[in-house]
Amino acid sequence: MEKLSNPQVTIATIKKYDFAFQKKFGQNFLIDEHVLNKIIGAAGVTKDDMVLEIGPGFGTLTQYLAESAREVVAVEIDKALIPVLNETLADYDNVTVINDDILKVDIEGLVNERNDGKPVKVVANLPYYITTPIIMGLLENHVPVDNITVMVQKEVAERMQAGPGTKDYGALSLAVQYYAKPYIAANVPPNCFIPRPNVGSAVIRLELFDAPPVKVIDERLMFQMIRASFNQRRKTLQNSIVNGGVSVTKDRIVAALKRMELSETIRGEALTLSQFAELANLLSEERDS
């Protein structure tokens, strides 16, 4: 069967199944061979790899993954797509489709069972409405993954990659950069999809660290402070942390900033990940002593 990356094949499949795209599932299917090759290249998929694909849709990216990986497990929420996938993936014997919500799947169990607990690659054209919970779930739950290569909304990719002092820098940048090194591999315009999304897209690769680049005594405290400081990003760091309900007093924050030789009026958006880590460590050491 000719591949779905040929727009005519995708259009014929829509007609054959009388398929109605569901906005609530973020369904925008790829129809550009160049972009599909770019995703496979950025993910660095080889015949040794097990790949987890999130949201195969018609199976467009899955066809490419099946040809380059040892095994592909694809999780699709929309049951109307299962008969389509049975047909479009019929030529491949190394693909398993699971009809479920990725946020409810025991991914770690799946990796243990099918890949002996060895790290897998996650590759997807993500449904944009749940990009952050999917990515943060993979990172925070310490699922064995060596890289995550995904299509996301362009602005979200830029936020993940941003550094201090830029408008895109925020809680998502710091959360992602604590676990992984982000790299934007391609920008992708709306005309590469059916139907066309209203936003630009980008392929981002997150290369997971073996260990975080900074040492943090209390991760929860650090991320509470990060969230609080970006929830009120125009306020000073000390005010936003105290107003944000983090259980530290202003005096202790001021003392910690002094020890770090930072201004009392500094805003959270100016702090690097290692400065947030140092601040959290100073505050938790003091609390524990």
Which residues lie near ligand SAM (CB under 6 A)?
A: 25-30, 54-57, 60-61, 75-78, 101-103, 125, 127, 130
Question: Cβ of residue 233: shortest distance to ligand SAM, in angstroms?
Answer: 30
Q: Which residues contact 83 (CB under 8 A, 6 or more apart)?
A: 17
Nearer to ligand SAM, 71 or 78 (CB): 78
CA dist list (Å): 172 to 34, 178, 199, 226, 249: 29, 10, 19, 9, 25
Residue 159 beta carbon to ligand SAM: minimum distance, rounded to whole angstroms: 19
Beta carbons within 8 Å of 121's beta carbon, 6+ residues apart: 43, 44, 45, 49, 50, 51, 52, 69, 145, 146, 147, 148, 149
Instruction: For the chain, count helices (H), then strands (E).
Output: 12, 9
Report in angstroms how near the CB of residue 38 gets to ligand SAM at its nearest: 12
Q: d(Cα 169, Cα 171) in Å, to the nearest integer?
A: 7
Please say which residue, 39 or 256, places its beta carbon nearer to ligand SAM.
Answer: 39
Q: How far is the CB of 175 from ligand SAM (least distance, A)?
A: 20
* 74/248 with CB nearer ligand SAM: 74
Q: Which is nearer to ligand SAM, 199 or 254 (CB)?
A: 199
Give least dist CB 111 to ligand SAM, A.
17
Rounded to an integer, what distance in angstroms lies between the CA atom of residue 108 and that of residue 227? Answer: 27
Closer residue to ligand SAM in complex, CB, 60/275: 60
Omega prior to 212 cis, within 30 of 0: no
Q: Strand 50-54 relative to strand 120-125: parallel, antiparallel, unpaired?
A: parallel
Comparing CB distances to ligand SAM, the nearer of 75 and 248 is 75
- Whichever of 56 and 268 has its CB closer to ligand SAM, that residue is 56
> CB 254 → ligand SAM: shortest distance, Å?
44
Report the nearest approach of ligand SAM to the CB of residue 103 (Å): 6
Residue whose C-alpha is closest to residue 76's, from 18, 125, 5, 20: 125
- Minimal distance, residue 104 CB to ligand SAM, in Å: 8
Cβ distance to ligand SAM smaller for residue 60 or 147: 60
Chain centroid to CA 124: 10
Three-state SS annotation for 85-139: HHHHCCCCCCEEEEECCHHHCCHHHHHHHHHCCCCEEEEEECCHHHHHHHHHHHH
Q: Report how far residue 59's alpha carbon sits from residue 88's, in angstroms, rounded to the nearest whole number.
A: 6
